[in-house]
Amino acid sequence: MAPIIRLPLFTFSGTGNTWWVARQIAAALNQQGITAEAFSIEQLSREEIEDLVHRADTIGIGYPIYASDAPLLVQDFVHNLPISEPPKPALVFVTQMEWSGNGAWLLHHSLESRGYRVRWAVEFKMPNNIGMHIFPVPSTPNFAKFTPKLEKATNRARRLAGSILAEQEWIQGKGVINNALSLLQRLPWRLALKWTQTHTWSVDAEKCTHCGRCERICPVENIRLDPGGLPIWSDQCNLCLRCFNYCPEQAILVYKKPFDPKRNGGQPYHGPVPEFKPELLARKK
């Protein structure tokens, strides 16, 4: 394999975890002399993606894991990647709470069909960003409590950069057992996906101030405002939790129930570090 000089990191991050990891990986690669930059796939045009891929020696793709699955937006991105001839090596990195089975290896067939060979597939454990009442594990808005996980993730990013520089493969999630176990989460998730996309969200009209932030930060333009300024969800939800986590008034309901401040420290998850804002990643309007 030829030496890696340019490595764009194409990322999707709903509430900040993958965004943060991508920045750590890019910083570690740049320290090794590899030109790396993280890009939000929401903000790139088709022409910009083609140009970045054309100039790249290796590409990177990062995304959060949803029930051992990749977000729909990421699946579509990979399906539409420019075909690489000759094949290019690829890095896949995922963020997860604890375990994802074959989450990092999941898209390797799709990538190979477009001319990319996955040589690095790496998992990063990050803070829980799911603050909904239906999820059994509580989240926290306390940034200080994230420090141990962030330190481990930073060290892992440095290790990954060293593996890339040394051209040493690092594959996590590969194998029959990982695949079989991940199906226990992925199959029910996919079977319920269409119903979940259309039945999860609503709004408390008394709390909503019609600010339109939910519409602006939705990564797939699934939210529009009605004539009175209240959000309406369509059937293409990416289930990233941005609208729920970042509503300034906590007015968005999950299965008709509001955010429970007694369970999650007073507010929903607002990213792994204070400087994260979803507007950093949202598509250009």
Report the percentage of the chain scoring pLDDT > 70.
99
Over residues 172-187, the mean pLDDT reads 93
Please check the confidence at residue 106 and state whether its pLDDT lies above 70. yes
The rounded mean pLDDT for the chain is 94
* 1-5, 24-28, 66-70, 113-117: least confident range: 1-5
What is the pLDDT at residue 3?
65
Class in CATH terms, 6-179: alpha beta
Q: What is the per-residue pLDDT for 162?
A: 96
pLDDT of 98 strictly over 70: yes
Rg from Cα positions in the chain: 19
DSSP-assigned beta bridge partners for residue 11: 40, 62
**Distant-in-sequence, close-in-space partners of 177: CB < 8 Å, separation ≥ 6:** none
pLDDT value at residue 134: 79
Per-residue model confidence (pLDDT) at position 264: 77
Asked whether the predicted pLDDT for residue 17 surpasses 80, the reply is yes
* C-alpha–C-alpha distance, residues 269 and 152, integer Å: 20
Delimit the domains of the chain by residue range. 6-179, 200-280
- The CATH code belonging to domain 200-280 is 3.30.70.20
Give pLDDT tens digits for 237-280. 999 999 999 999 999 999 999 988 877 778 899 999 999 999 99
User: Is residue 65 scored above 80 in pLDDT?
Assistant: yes
**Matching fold, domains 6-179 and 200-280:** no
Residue 20 makes CB contacts below 8 A (sequence gap 6+) with: 13, 126, 150, 153, 271, 272, 273, 276
Q: Average pLDDT, stretch 186-200? A: 95
